[in-house]
């Protein structure tokens, strides 16, 4: 799949109560993030290169160096300015006198429409009005590449600039259908409470902006502190007993780069059941031999401690070889067994370990259901926010229902490492299976996790996940995008059965996986029903609010 270069511009201004940023709402018919609020931006056009003739302030070489490119950095900035004019009706440019454009300048009206209708190119438009594009007024603040698996992928550079004073923003009515000036904290709060749909890269930029009270402070910082270049080189590792190169987008990249920071090629780029991997000081991962469609390479058990005391997080299934391995690594000393939830691939080994060691079991009781481990009987039921002392450091307990009503995450505070169970899956999304699975609760739990202080995720299946908050935000974005497809299927094809709607809303899922997808589709429909946006009659689902 071709990854298209793109650029986005966060325009800021100083409001009565502090910094504000312009957000535009994308049309509901958009192929990418429909209905979401975004900054003005879009793909870099080949003709943007020609508009360098109208640029001033910085040469392409200097800009490209800042963006860690060989050349073409100026084209990203020019694309950001062009898209801002097309989508928001604002243009950061100066006239022949060196003055910023006033609100009644014809380029903002007739010029904008001519550009949108492709009757004139951006270079020709600027030249016809004697305009110069001051690229030194844009500061580079971020780089985001759409993760693999998305229907469209973009390599996007994010910039910030002071909005031209006097000019009035206006959405174009086709690509964008609304706009708002909001304080970054206000936008983040609205997203947290479900009032504003924001994708991960927008969230990340808003969090940066929220640290500043004025545009002057923000721009001073942004010009002086461009972001760290995104990894581009593969990382040396071992796989199958041979040397291996792990590409930046590969699942193992965050783990091998963390475990082998000096690039000696000693970290393993594959998960082998039974192999002990020290993933953090005092933390060892051992993967159970239960690979499958729903479990990936197997269930990860984490052993925390050293010397005389250890505890286990998620002992996995009652596989005696796996459990004996955990026991041997702990020298037979396991005082507690913690479980994130009681699905049968995570907790059945707990009773076996308790019988062998007398370990106390920590977790929440199993709800009803065939997929639950009914044998799990906790000795201690931790509360949300409770802190547990362990040989590896303090664990904070976080109740995260949704995938399972009794799901817990455990945050190792000193390592900023989140043991996430099945809240976050590497390489796939979590199945939300009603009645115990609850989509609204799952999204609320993800939003709450977004506020927790961690950097890396230790998932129940797969490698360590770097940039943990990015993973959380991407899951929220994916779920809300899927919900939009469910609503669109309801509007276009309802009333219809669950199976029929699933085929439309999950048209990108292989036939063999539609049965599993149907469970998550039902979870979305039940959430929409609770919100008054869907209804079920005689086994047929329809839309209530269009």
For residue range 117-174, what is the model confidence (pLDDT) as tens digits?
999 999 999 999 999 999 999 999 999 887 765 667 889 999 999 999 989 999 988 8
Hunting for tokens 């086994």 — which residue is that? 539
> Quick one: what percent of the chain has pLDDT higher than 70?
98
Give the pLDDT confidence score for residue 151 in this predicted structure. 63
Q: Which CATH architecture has domain 478-543?
A: Orthogonal Bundle (1.10)
User: Does the pLDDT at position 546 exceed 50?
Assistant: no
Q: Measured between alpha carbons, how far is 475 from 472 in angstroms, rounded to an integer?
A: 5
Helix (H) or strand (E) run with residue 177 in it: strand 176-182
Q: Measured between alpha carbons, how far is 110 from 104 in angstroms, rounded to an integer?
A: 11
What is the residue extent of each domain of the chain?
3-224, 231-270, 275-424, 478-543
**With contact defined as beta carbons under 8 Å apart, do 427 and 438 qualify?**
no
Q: Measured between alpha carbons, how far is 367 from 404 in angstroms, rounded to an integer?
A: 9
Q: What is the CATH number of domain 3-224?
A: 3.90.79.10
In tens, the pLDDT along 467-502 reads 898 888 888 888 888 888 898 899 999 899 999 999
User: Does the pLDDT at position 381 exceed 80?
Assistant: yes
Whole-Å CA distances, 83 to 4, 41, 78: 15, 5, 9
- The question of whether 60 is a catalytic residue gets the answer no
Q: Measured between alpha carbons, how far is 493 from 293 in angstroms, rounded to an integer?
A: 30
Peptide bond into 318 cis (omega under 30): no
- DSSP designation for 173: S
Of the candidate ranges 326-335, 366-375, 506-515, the one whose mean pLDDT is the lowest? 506-515
User: Which is higher by pLDDT, 28 or 354?
Assistant: 354
Give the pLDDT confidence score for residue 424 in this predicted structure. 93
3-class SS string, 331-378: CCCCCEEECCCCECCCCCHHHHHHHHHCCEEECCCCCCCCCECCCCCC
- DSSP designation for 28: T
Catalytic residue among 60, 345, 436, 473: 345
Q: Where are the beta strands (DSSP E) in 391-495?
A: 393-399, 408-412, 417-421, 456-459
Of the candidate ranges 13-17, 50-54, 458-462, the one whose mean pLDDT is the lowest? 13-17
Average per-residue pLDDT for the chain: 92
pLDDT band (50, 70, 90) for residue 248: confident
Q: Measured between alpha carbons, how far is 257 from 262 in angstroms, rounded to an integer?
A: 8
User: Does the pLDDT at position 113 exceed 90?
Assistant: yes
Q: What is the CATH number of domain 275-424?
A: 3.60.15.10
Q: Measured between alpha carbons, how far is 487 from 332 in angstroms, rounded to an integer?
A: 53
Cα 517-521-525 angle, rounded to 5 deg: 170
**With contact defined as beta carbons under 8 Å apart, do 261 and 250 qualify?**
no
User: Does the pLDDT at position 44 exceed 80?
Assistant: yes
Strands 18-26 and 176-182: antiparallel
Mean pLDDT, range 400-414, rounded to an integer: 97
In tens, the pLDDT along 271-313 reads 999 999 999 999 999 999 999 888 989 999 999 998 789 999 9
């Amino acid at each position: 799949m071709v990854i298209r270069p793109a650029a986005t511009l966060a325009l800021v201004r100083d409001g009565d109560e502090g910094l504000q940023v312009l957000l535009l709402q994308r049309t509901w018919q958009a192929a990418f993030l429909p209905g979401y609020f975004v900054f003005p931006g879009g793909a870099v056009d080949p003709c943007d290169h020609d508009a360098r003739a109208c640029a001033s302030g910085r040469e392409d070489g200097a800009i490209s160096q800042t963006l860690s490119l060989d050349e073409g950095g100026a084209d990203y900035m020019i694309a950001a300015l062009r898209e801002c004019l097309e989508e928001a009706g604002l243009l950061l440019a100066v006239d022949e006198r060196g003055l910023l454009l006033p609100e009644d300048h014809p380029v903002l009206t007739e010029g904008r429409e001519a550009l949108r209708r492709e009757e004139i190119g951006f270079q020709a438009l600027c030249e016809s009005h004697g305009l110069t594009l001051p690229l030194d007024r844009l500061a580079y603040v971020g780089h985001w590449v759409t993760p693999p698996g998305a229907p469209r992928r973009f390599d996007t550079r994010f910039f910030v600039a002071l909005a031209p004073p006097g000019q009035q923003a206006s959405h174009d009515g086709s690509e964008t259908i609304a706009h708002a000036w909001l304080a970054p904290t206000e936008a983040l709060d609205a997203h947290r409470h479900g009032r504003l749909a924001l994708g991960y890269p927008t969230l990340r930029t808003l969090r940066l902006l929220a640290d500043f009270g004025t545009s002057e402070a923000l721009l001073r910082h942004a010009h002086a502190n461009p972001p760290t270049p995104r990894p581009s080189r593969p990382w040396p590792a071992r796989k199958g007993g041979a040397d291996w190169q792990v590409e930046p987008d590969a699942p193992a990249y965050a783990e091998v780069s963390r475990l082998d920071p000096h690039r000696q090629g000693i970290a393993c780029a594959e998960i082998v059941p039974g192999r002990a991997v020290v993933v953090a000081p005092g933390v060892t991962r051992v993967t159970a031999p239960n690979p499958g469609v729903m479990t990936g390479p197997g269930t990860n058990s984490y052993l925390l401690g050293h010397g005389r005391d250890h505890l286990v997080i998620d002992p996995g299934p009652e596989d005696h070889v796996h459990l004996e391995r955990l026991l041997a690594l702990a020298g037979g000393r396991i005082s507690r067994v913690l479980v994130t939830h009681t699905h049968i691939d995570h907790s059945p080994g707990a009773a076996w370990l308790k019988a062998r060691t007398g370990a106390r079991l920590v977790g929440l009781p199993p709800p009803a259901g065939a997929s639950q481990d009914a044998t799990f009987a906790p000795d201690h039921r931790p509360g949300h926010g409770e802190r547990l002392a362990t040989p590896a450091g303090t664990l904070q307990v976080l109740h995260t229902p949704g995938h399972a009503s009794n799901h817990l995450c455990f945050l190792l505070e000193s390592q900023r490492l989140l043991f996430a169970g099945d809240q976050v899956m590497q390489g796939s999304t979590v199945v939300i299976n009603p009645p115990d699975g609850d989509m609204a609760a799952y999204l609320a739990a993800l939003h709450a996790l977004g506020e927790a202080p961690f950097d890396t995720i230790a998932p129940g299946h797969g490698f360590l996940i770097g940039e943990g908050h990015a993973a959380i935000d991407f899951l929220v974005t994916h779920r809300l995008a899927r919900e939009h497809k469910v609503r669109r299927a309801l509007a276009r094809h309802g009333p219809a059965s669950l199976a029929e709607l699933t085929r439309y809303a999950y048209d990108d899922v292989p036939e063999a996986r539609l049965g599993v997808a149907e469970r998550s589709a039902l979870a979305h429909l039940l959430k929409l029903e609770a919100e008054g946006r869907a209804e079920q009659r005689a086994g047929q689902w329809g839309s209530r609010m269009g």
